[in-house]
């Protein structure tokens, strides 16, 4: 733009000028293909980094031969295949799912502050997990036996998330506009959170600790079966989200106009809510309430791709979400150190400055 | 002439009666203004005709068929609504914004084929925004954005176009631009255009018919008829507000 102005100054002598369009072009077809290419490349690099780096330093050549199935020391194969690859897949799925869920919530509510959990999905999942953890200890069941605990917590979390979504769906058919739905969602989330606090207040310190650990988020500890279940849920949610694209685009024109276009708003809401339970509900159940990604990535992809069309935005958000989540997870592992930080703290510490920087930069322009 | 819209003994409202006794018809190719004080239910009437909200009594017919017998999709095929202050979306190109009007005819992804693309481009040219096809629609001026919103409903290819205060917040030049556009849509394409406005002089000058929703009740007529009958005097609560015949013709 600056160059174009300079050029125009020079051309002015010859009474010529290039059209300095006062408005930037958006949404023309060829312009974002290279952005997809770069985003996919970043994703691939971060995926590789996530698998190659970890608490235990393994030479890259060993890791790669372990991945290719060549002969390597047993401990390397064990770390790569039983620990790092499942964790990378979980992080990838979490980033993708939470981001496209956040995107749909932001469009549905026309609210840049909406995130996957705005309708209380994480609170619902939290209630399920809290009841499971505290109930187990009340019945004298040992929560520390990991197979029982992780699967039970996931199932309880998913049931909780599903429960609150069903409640909101049931109410949503009686609500006239999306703003009322938003208020209802936030209120029921707060109510559930209050119930969780009450449960925490009366629980033993051991079960309190396992609950708090769940709220901090983690991508490790999922076994093969759990990853299969998670993958299937996320794929179903993704498919439904792709099917939602047309209605999401219609919603950009406002609810009233969307209705007059022939959009069946009740049905659209239910489809978006179902997608968000499949995506955010499943991730939260298995990995805990992973914050920040769902709200930030849609904004980042809007800024990079400069296109509000969901046909462009949804795949962009999916790729960027997966890439950013892999990055966050790699950092939280503190490569080379034996300590591992909770994902939630890292995602906030990395992400918030990024978002603030982008917002401030935009304001100054 | 075909009766495109017919309102019989209509009572508007939700829980509480807002306005009652509406009897009116609209024909093919007519440009009709709805005039009345704030809060009388002009927007409600437009939303009721588009079946977005229900009515308390009476009947609305589109093409001699009750509006209740239409499905969501069928309504959108015969009628489009341009709501007042449509929201703007950042980074949405004008082309993408206007293609939303094709919703009813596109497949599950909403992609446009070449014929539809040409159709959208032709409509953009019709409203005079061809300079901005791939520009950010949220950065258009108020007048341009209103034309874009009208273009979006033209793309819908419905026979009836309803507009809620399309000239609000616009300067005189843009107002007349919009009204001329609406007039040409009605005249040249045989569409029925009904819009609400507070701009009485413009309505009297340009419209075939005016629907008056005032404190004195509902009236329908050509601008001259209504002036003769002194209907505009009964429109407001304050009876000292007189719309002198001379004054109105001067305007």
Q: What does the pLDDT look like over B130-148, one tens digit per residue?
A: 999 999 999 999 999 999 9
Confidence label for A12 from pLDDT (cuts 50, 70 and 90): very low
Chain B closest CA to A312's CA: distance in Å?
A: 11
What is the C-alpha to C-alpha distance for residues A94 and A88, in angstroms, rounded to an integer? 10
- pLDDT tens-digit series, residues A147-190: 677 788 888 988 999 899 889 888 887 887 888 888 998 999 99
Residue with the bigger pLDDT between A143 and B76: it is B76
Which of B87, B108, B163 has the most A C-beta neighbours within 10 Å, making it the best mutation to test the interface with A? B87
Tell me how far the alpha carbon of residue A338 is from its chain's centroid: 27
Residues of B in contact with A179 (CB under 8 A): none
- pLDDT tens-digit series, residues A113-132: 888 888 888 899 999 988 98
List the pLDDT tens digit at each of the 251 positions of chain B: 788 999 999 999 888 899 999 999 999 999 999 999 888 999 999 999 999 888 999 999 999 999 999 988 899 999 999 998 889 988 899 999 999 999 988 888 888 899 999 999 999 999 999 999 999 999 999 999 999 999 999 999 999 999 999 998 888 888 989 999 999 999 999 999 999 999 888 888 899 999 999 988 999 999 989 888 888 887 877 766 666 655 555 55
- Spatial contact of A291 and A347, defined as CB atoms under 8 Å apart: yes
> Which has the closest alpha carbon to B5: B82, B55, B78, B57?
B78
Q: Chain B residues contacting A, CB < 8 Å? A: 47, 50, 52, 72-73, 75-77, 79-83, 86-87, 89-93, 95-97, 100-101, 103-104, 106, 108-111, 132, 134-136, 139, 152, 156
Chain B closest CA to A94's CA: distance in Å?
A: 25
pTM of the predicted protein model? 0.88
Kindly indicate whether the ipTM for this predicted assembly is greater than 0.95, answering yes or no.
no
Mention every residue, 6+ apart, whose C-beta is less than 8 A from residue B107.
none
The pLDDT of residue A146 is above 90: no
Chain B closest CA to A103's CA: distance in Å?
A: 14
Strands B79-82 and B160-164: parallel
Chain A closest CA to B129's CA: distance in Å?
A: 13
Q: How many CB pairs under 8 A join A and B?
A: 110
Residue carrying the six token digits 């394409």: B189
What is the C-alpha to C-alpha distance for residues A22 and B39, in angstroms, rounded to an integer? 39
Residue carrying the six token digits 């179902």: A274
| CATH, range A2-364 | 1.10.3470.10
């Amino acid at each position: 733009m600056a160059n174009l102005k300079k050029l125009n100054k020079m051309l002015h002598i010859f009474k010529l000028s290039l059209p300095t369009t006062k408005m930037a072009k958006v949404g023309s077809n060829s312009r974002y293909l290279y952005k997809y290419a770069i985003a996919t490349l970043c994703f691939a690099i971060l995926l590789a980094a996530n698998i190659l780096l970890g608490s235990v330093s393994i030479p890259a050549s060993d890791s790669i031969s372990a991945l290719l199935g060549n002969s390597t020391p047993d401990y390397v194969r064990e770390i790569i295949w039983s620990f790092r690859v499942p964790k990378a897949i979980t992080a990838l799925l979490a980033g993708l799912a939470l981001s496209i869920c956040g995107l749909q919530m932001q469009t549905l509510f026309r609210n840049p502050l909406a995130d996957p959990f705005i309708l209380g999905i994480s609170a619902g999942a939290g209630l399920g997990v809290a009841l499971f953890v505290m109930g187990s200890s009340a019945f004298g069941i040992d929560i520390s036996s990991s197979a029982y605990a992780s699967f039970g917590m996931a199932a309880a979390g998913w049931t909780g998330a599903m429960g609150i979504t069903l409640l909101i769906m049931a109410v949503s058919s009686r609500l006239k506009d999306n703003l009322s739905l938003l208020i209802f969602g936030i209120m029921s989330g707060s109510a559930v959170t209050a119930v969780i606090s009450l449960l925490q207040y009366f629980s033993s310190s051991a079960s309190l600790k396992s609950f708090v650990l769940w709220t901090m988020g983690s991508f490790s500890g999922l076994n093969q079966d759990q990853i299969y279940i998670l993958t299937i849920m996320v794929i179903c949610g993704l498919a439904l989200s792709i099917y939602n694209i047309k209605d999401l685009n219609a919603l950009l024109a406002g609810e009233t106009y969307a209705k007059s276009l022939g959009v069946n708003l009740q049905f659209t809401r239910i489809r978006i809510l179902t997608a968000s339970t499949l995506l955010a509900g499943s991730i939260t159940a298995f990995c805990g309430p992973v914050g920040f990604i769902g709200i930030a990535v849609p904004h980042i992809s809007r800024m990079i791709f400069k296109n509000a069309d969901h046909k462009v935005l949804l795949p962009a958000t999916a790729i960027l979400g997966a890439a950013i989540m892999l990055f966050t997870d790699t950092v939280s592992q503190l490569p080379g150190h034996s300590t591992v930080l909770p994902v939630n703290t890292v995602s906030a510490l990395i992400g918030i400055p990024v978002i603030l920087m982008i917002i401030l930069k935009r304001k100054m322009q | 002439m075909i009766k495109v819209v017919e309102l019989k003994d209509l009572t508007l409202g939700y829980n509480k009666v807002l306005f009652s006794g509406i009897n009116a018809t609209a024909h093919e190719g007519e440009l009709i203004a709805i005039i009345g004080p704030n809060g009388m239910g002009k927007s409600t009437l437009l939303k009721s005709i588009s079946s977005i909200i229900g009515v308390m009594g009476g009947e609305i017919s589109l093409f001699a068929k009750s509006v209740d017998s239409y499905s969501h999709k069928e309504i959108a095929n015969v009628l489009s609504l341009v709501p007042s202050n449509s929201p703007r979306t950042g980074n949405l190109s004008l082309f993408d914004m206007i293609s939303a009007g094709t919703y009813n005819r596109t497949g599950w992804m909403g992609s446009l084929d070449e014929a539809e693309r040409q159709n959208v481009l032709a409509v953009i040219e019709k409203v005079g925004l061809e300079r901005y096809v791939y520009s950010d629609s949220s950065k258009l001026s108020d007048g341009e954005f209103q034309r874009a919103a009208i273009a979006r409903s033209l793309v819908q290819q419905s026979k009836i176009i309803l507009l809620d205060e399309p000239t609000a917040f616009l300067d005189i030049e843009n107002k007349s631009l919009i009204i001329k556009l609406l007039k040409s849509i009605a005249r040249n394409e045989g569409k029925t255009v009904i819009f609400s406005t507070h701009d009485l002089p413009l309505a009297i000058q340009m419209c075939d018919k005016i629907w008056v929703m005032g404190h004195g009740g509902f009236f329908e007529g050509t601008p001259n008829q209504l002036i003769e009958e002194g209907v505009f005097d009964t429109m407001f609560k304050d009876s000292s507000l007189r719309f002198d015949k001379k004054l109105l013709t001067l305007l």
